[in-house]
Amino acid sequence: MISSSKLTVALVISLNIFILKTCLSFSPSPSTPLKKTPSSSVKLTSLNMKTIDSHLHIWGTAADAKGSYPCASADQTPPPSLIDTSSASSLLTQMEENGVDGALIVQPINYKYDHRYVADAIAEHPDKLKGMLLLDPSLNEEESLKRLDELILKGFVGVRYNPYLFEGDNKMRMSDNAAAKKVFHRCGELKVPVGVMCFKGMELHYEDIIALCESSPETVVILDHFGFAAVDNQEQFQMVLDLAKYNVIVKISALFRLNDEYPFDRVQKERFDKLLEVYGAERLMFGTDFPFVMDQDFGYKGAVELVRSWTAGDETVTNAVMGGTAERLFGAWGGR
């Protein structure tokens, strides 16, 4: 006989699945090239759209690190310039000052697979914050699916695949990890997007990403930071463009990581404008990469204002890139 507590958990998970499936409907087949939806067909208006920061990290202060929220290891200690300015309260202050209504917190490597700090922040500010958990490739299939279900119930709405955490003979091959494949397929069923960090270069992960996409066409894949395709590497960027035929979204985030200088004219003309042409506004979403953006002269405010300025003149594009895409993928945030 099933205990009442287990039945309650199952019902709650089922309800979450229903909500997620209701919020998301974008799942093209990889066998058919994806067609860009005209901007005019995206039903977004300035009256119902919010500004959502789709990529950032938070962690506790130095005091927190010595107490309730220790770093995963000594080599994961945050930079001195950011150790005490990257908390949930610091983020919320920046959001409030710059008209940002919601944020997607990507689990920081500082805590590795300890999601307590982010989960606690979400629990305290559920109308403002959602999370993207970090997949632990060392877990088996059953453990991985259990972890996924547990964290979904705590406000996590996406899964991050960090290929540099995968080990074995096929190091950095996400698609060769049985648990990762199982979770990826499950994410497709739940309409939970999977983010991929190609920090060391898209060419290292291009075939791997395709293998994942083809294994579960329903699963949305999100590329962080323009796919890390710097302005001086067109070969990498072409790979990002080629992935448009799959169920892929690109984050317009971390402008300072693409080998260009503020105000990032090359990033706008050679990366953003081209992505807008190939992917369409409904498959692009803005992010700041807080707190690292705070080490830049233009700061959080400059990141928000700059990307918004790139979409000026087309309200529909602005609404999609600055918040609509994120809310379509992850569900609505609260607030104004």
Six token digits for residue 227: 């796919």
Length of the chain: 336
Average pLDDT value for residue range 246-274? 98
Euclidean distance between CA atoms 77 and 62, whole angstroms: 9
- Closest to 51 in 3D by CA, of 329, 248, 326, 331: 326
When pLDDT is averaged across residues 188-215 and rounded to a whole number, the result is 97
pLDDT tens-digit map of 82-110? 999 999 999 999 999 999 999 999 999 99
Is residue 116 predicted with pLDDT exceeding 60?
A: yes
For residue 202, give every residue at least 6 positions away whose Cβ sits within 8 Å of its Cβ, in sequence order, or none.
Answer: 227, 228, 229, 236, 239, 240
Better-scored residue on pLDDT, 45 or 308: 308
**How much is the pLDDT for 167?**
75
The DSSP annotation for 23-53 comes to: H------TTSPPPPPPGGGS---TTT---EE
| CA-only gyration radius of the chain, Å | 19
pTM as predicted? 0.87
Q: pLDDT tens across 304-318, in order?
A: 999 999 999 999 999
- Output phi, psi for 102, to 5 deg: -155, 165
